[in-house]
Amino acid sequence: MNRWIILLVLPLFLLDCSNKKKGMLLLPFLGLGDGTTQATTASANDGDGTFTVVGLETTDPSQVTTPDANTNTGEPSNSETPSVVTPTPTPAAPTPAPTTVNNETTTTVVDQTNGGNFNFETNITVPVTVVIVNEAGPVTNAPVTVTESITTGEPNVVGVGTTDGNGSVTIPISVPPTVVSVDISVVGVNPTTGEVVEIVGSAPVQQPATGSNSEGTVVVAPVINVDTTNFQPVNGCVQAVDSDCDGIANNFDEFPDDPSLATIARSGRYTIAFEDMFPSAGDADLNDHSTVFSTEMDKTPTNKVKIIRGTYTHVAKGAGYNHELRLSLDVPTNATVQISYLDGSGNPWNGCASAPKYTANTAGDCTGGTLTPAQLKRGVLLLPSSDKTLFGKKNAPAAGSTFTINDFVRGVTAQVTITFEEPVD
Ligand SMILES: [Ca+2]
Ligand SMILES: [Ca+2]
Ligand SMILES: [Ca+2]
């Protein structure tokens, strides 16, 4: 049987604004062309960007040492085993001077059209590059955090990285199409005052399309060149701002006392919908199997995923065929899968485990267990055969017929936790 085919991802829109992070960088849009087929570069905000410096609270200023002159050219420290800064008196300091920052952001249009092939994924995926220099040259080993606050109304860490010997880091991110800009944070120290400071700002990931027949936005990859003075990476760990010394400051660390974990990536609510006669587009109404889902991923300080949690509710079956929904994971490690099911009323549902089709299967279907890489690649069973999961209904009215909220049947909900033995990319 031919199955699956085309997927449609549709994020729920939350209009809540950031409660935490700062200003929006608005750029003029210069010569971006039609934005769909070729990369074009636009330069903007010639050094007068909105990146700013904020002080981070340190309960014990003596925890911060003045970084020595070799900080910028030294080897990056091992982020797995950061050293704790030994409290020392502040040495005879040069005249205290504030950290300053100027930035210039350039953008490159990123083709999201999948080379002309049918592509219904609406997430936008771009690299965000940050380049930091100070008066001594490139700033090496600076921790850069990229967040967005549109999806849930709270800052949601979408990527982290550390600058290399050129002061540069490129962080790939994937965000819902409602996200038009991301926020950037770099934590460091002012060597003349010993204060821990944070450089913050934002950069666009979408800009209005320009050119003839253009409408909407184009996706852009930003490169943010930060030119700063009196700013260096923290030389070691300042526990007042990073309790577990994992390199992720407390204000972003959702596991502030666990150095093995750093952040939770929250998807917000999505719908995934399939047309089932691939490669035929069929009638392309994407109603053959539809699921509403939301996921969270617990991530390590190095941006790897340790745990995936998801809730998946079957909501429509506009097909004669039956389908099952699996999550295929191409990873080099085992994972423990825990899964439970609820019926449309929120009560435990055992229709999966009672189906002979699945109980005969030893790959963790219905009951979870420890799955091998091969089993994970075949796919974790999320929702079993769709003739069972809508209780005989379809939520798929014929065109022109009436369908009201009272006609809607909530299908089976799967609650899944996948814990990798080793964190994965
Ligand atoms: Ca931390
Ligand atoms: Ca942590
Ligand atoms: Ca169809």
Collapsing DSSP states into helix, strand and coil, what is residue 205?
A: coil
How many CB atoms within 10 Å of residue 5?
A: 20
Report domain extents, the chain: 41-62+99-257, 265-424
> The tokens 């604004």 sit on which residue?
17
CA distance 244 to 237: 9
- CA of 301 from ligand 1 middle (Å) equals 8
Question: Residue 40: what pLDDT?
Answer: 38
- CA of 237 from ligand 1 middle (Å) equals 9
CA distance 313 to 317: 12
Is residue 364 within 8 A of residue 371, CB to CB? The reply is: yes
Integer angstrom CA distances of residue 392 from 136, 143, 359: 70, 53, 21
C-beta contacts of 112-117 below 8 A and 24+ residues apart: 112/219, 113/36, 113/37
Question: Residue 65: what pLDDT?
Answer: 60
CA distance 160 to 165: 17
How many CA atoms within 13 Å lie on the side-chain side of 330? 0
Ligand nearest to the CA of 320: 3
Is residue 140 within 8 A of residue 179, CB to CB? The reply is: no
Question: Residue 307: what pLDDT?
Answer: 98
Is-cis flag, bond preceding 94, omega within 30?
no
Is residue 179 within 8 A of residue 217, CB to CB? The reply is: no
User: Which tokens hold the place of 159?
Assistant: 């990527």
* Among candidate residues 62, 104, 11, 88, the one with its CA nearest the CA of residue 293: 11
What digits encode the pLDDT tens for the residues 106-115?
Answer: 999 988 777 7
Ligand nearest to the CA of 8: 3
Question: Residue 92: what pLDDT?
Answer: 52
How many CB atoms within 10 Å of residue 69?
A: 11
- CA of 263 from ligand 1 middle (Å) equals 9
Q: Which helix (H) or strand (E) holds 358?
A: helix 356-359
DSSP 27-49: ------TTSSSS--EEEESSS--
Collapsing DSSP states into helix, strand and coil, what is residue 359?
A: helix
- CA of 90 from ligand 1 middle (Å) equals 24
Low-confidence ranges of the chain (pLDDT < 50): 1-48, 69-81, 87-89
CA distance 305 to 166: 27
> The tokens 């010639």 sit on which residue?
46
Question: Residue 382: what pLDDT?
Answer: 97
Ligand nearest to the CA of 288: 3
- CA of 279 from ligand 3 middle (Å) equals 13
- CA of 418 from ligand 3 middle (Å) equals 31
User: Which tokens hold the place of 201?
Assistant: 């700002």
| Superfamily for domain range 41-62+99-257 | Carboxypeptidase-like, regulatory domain (2.60.40.1120)
- CA of 232 from ligand 2 middle (Å) equals 22
Q: Which helix (H) or strand (E) holds 374?
A: helix 373-378
